[in-house]
Amino acid sequence: MSRWSKSGYEGPKENGWPQGKGKYTFPNGTIYEGNFDKGEFHGDGVLIYPKKGRYVAKWDRGKMIEGKYFFYDELEYQKDEWEYCTLTDRRFYTEITKGLRPDGLTLITNDINGIKQIPEGTYDIGDGYYDPGNKAIYDYNGNVLRELEEEPEESEKWIKDKCRYNPNVLEDQFHLNGENDKIIQKIMLNSGSRGAKETELKKADEELKQE
């Protein structure tokens, strides 16, 4: 493991290059496990992300030829024919593999332990949350995991279409009370004065009737 970059290689070498089956750890914690040839990813290899999602692929001299992405729960991502959690079948993958939960314990996310707390204005993506303002993905503790990688606009659209959103909630429910607007405050003051006068007149009228 490199002292400075926190990256490192484990496995056989040939002429100083990683060669054969090995394991490479990136600074962000992502791990490549698979075949190397002269220091490059070559052949079958898997990228394993910090939150256990994984990309199973074939490589040619460091370039990915083809591959499939699996989420942490083994759900396979389908780009074109996505049949998961649709209008006709709204079950989460946990419910597909482990069965529906009993009445009163219905899942509202794919996590059998319940929803994770995420900041307002962000999207829960399963291994963290996506902040559209910063165009970045964070873990549930607020640490940056990664930025949107390939096809960022398409990835963001998919997240917004498919993932749970925690809407912004106005912190001050009286934010429209016009407390900083002189005209509104004058109107409210006059209204209050009229209301007080009307109350006094009603009270006097009731006292006269009692006499």
What are the pLDDT digits (tens) for 10-37?
A: 999 989 999 999 999 998 889 999 999 9
Amino acid present at 96? I
pLDDT for res 90: 75
Please compute the mean of the pLDDT values over residues 186-190 and round it to a whole number: 61
Give Cα 31 to chain centroid, integer Å.
22
Is residue 118 very low, low, confident or very high in pLDDT (cuts 50, 70, 90)? very high
Give me the phi and psi of 4, to 5 degrees please. Answer: -95, -45
Identify whether the C-beta of residue 145 lies closer than 8 Å to the C-beta of residue 50.
Answer: yes
Edge-first strand listing for the sheet containing 31-37: 8-10, 20-25, 31-37, 40-48, 54-60, 63-70
Alpha helices by DSSP H, 122-181: 152-162
Please compute the mean of the pLDDT values over residues 41-55 and round it to a whole number: 90
CA angle 177, 178, 183 (to 5 degrees): 140
* Alpha carbons 150 and 192: distance in angstroms, whole number: 60
pLDDT for res 188: 60
Identify whether the C-beta of residue 2 lies closer than 8 Å to the C-beta of residue 12.
Answer: no
Identify whether the C-beta of residue 119 lies closer than 8 Å to the C-beta of residue 129.
Answer: yes
Mean pLDDT of the chain: 79
**Structure tokens that stand for 102 in this block:** 């009993």
- pLDDT, one tens digit per residue, over 81-95 is 777 777 777 777 888
pLDDT for res 33: 94
Contacts of 13 (CB under 8 A, 6+ apart): 19
pLDDT for res 164: 85
> What is the model's pTM?
0.51
* Alpha carbons 151 and 148: distance in angstroms, whole number: 8
Please compute the mean of the pLDDT values over residues 54-70 and round it to a whole number: 93
**Structure tokens that stand for 55 in this block:** 């990309």
Is residue 48 very low, low, confident or very high in pLDDT (cuts 50, 70, 90)? very high
* Alpha carbons 98 and 83: distance in angstroms, whole number: 18
Please compute the mean of the pLDDT values over residues 187-194 and round it to a whole number: 58
- pLDDT, one tens digit per residue, over 126-177 is 778 999 888 889 988 999 887 776 566 778 888 888 888 998 876 445 555 5
Is residue 75 very low, low, confident or very high in pLDDT (cuts 50, 70, 90)? confident
Looking at the chain, how many residues does it have?
A: 211
Of residues 193 and 147, the one with the higher pLDDT is 147
Of residues 64 and 193, the one with the higher pLDDT is 64
Give me the phi and psi of 34, to 5 degrees please. Answer: 160, -155
